[in-house]
């Protein structure tokens, strides 16, 4: 199925817009190659390839969460969660869900249960991570949002969400630990072995 075909989906009411479910259903029918991440940000479809560097950083973050909280920690990677805003079917690189969280009747995790989100930027989608996704995470009340930038060798930590913004931003260079103790993430993340792009 092509993007043109998505436009042809028949709607019950001509004034209706495509819902996120309809958009993802159409995308699932498309021949998207393995290793391509697909998400919808503010109604726009983004496809980005998973790079070695990208995955290596994601793996290290997931491992740090498992080391800190055990193998039963609710940590996900590349799983759709709908966030506030216009058609935000986001697919965080890493998200830790509250341990007592339950899926909705529709089988999805609720954005309100996200305690920590990490995104590893790609050149083509970095503006989303710093813009609409950061705004959606703040509105949802995600307590800790981490952006890892392998191009500049920096981690950006956003905490204390209020409205559409985070009140606190901290930047840490690769090689230094990212101390998230005292936050909902409650771990120290080593960055000395994060690869650079």
Please report the pLDDT score of residue 8 as a whole number. Answer: 34
Looking at the DSSP bridge assignments, the partners of residue 88 are 83
The helix (H) or strand (E) run that includes residue 188 is: strand 188-189
Q: Does 112 have pLDDT greater than 70?
A: yes
Main-chain phi, psi angles of 157, to 5 degrees: -110, 125
Q: What distance in Å separates the CA atoms of residue 121 and residue 55, rounded to the nearest whole number?
A: 11
Please report the pLDDT score of residue 39 as a whole number. Answer: 65
Dihedral of CA atoms 177, 181, 186, 191 in degrees, nearest 10, equals 0
Please report the pLDDT score of residue 47 as a whole number. Answer: 67
Mean pLDDT of 20-25: 70
pTM of the predicted protein model: 0.80
């Amino acid at each position: 199925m092509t993007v043109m075909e998505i436009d042809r989906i028949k709607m019950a009411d001509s004034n209706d817009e495509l819902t996120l479910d309809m958009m993802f259903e159409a995308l699932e029918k498309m021949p998207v190659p393995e290793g391509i991440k697909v998400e919808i940000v503010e109604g726009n479809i983004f496809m980005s390839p998973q790079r070695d560097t990208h995955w290596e950083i994601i793996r290290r973050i997931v491992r740090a969460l498992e080391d800190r909280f055990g193998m039963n920690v609710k940590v996900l990677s590349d799983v759709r969660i709908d966030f506030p805003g216009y058609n935000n079917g986001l697919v965080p690189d890493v998200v830790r869900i509250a341990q007592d969280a339950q899926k909705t009747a529709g089988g999805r995790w609720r954005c309100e249960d996200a305690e920590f989100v990490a995104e590893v930027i790609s050149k083509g989608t970095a503006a989303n991570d710093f813009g609409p996704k950061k705004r959606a995470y703040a509105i949802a009340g995600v307590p800790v949002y981490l952006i890892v930038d392998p191009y500049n060798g920096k981690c950006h930590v956003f905490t204390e969400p209020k409205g559409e913004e985070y009140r606190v931003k901290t930047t840490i260079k690769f090689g230094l630990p990212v101390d998230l103790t005292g936050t909902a993430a409650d771990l120290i993340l080593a960055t000395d072995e994060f690869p650079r792009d």
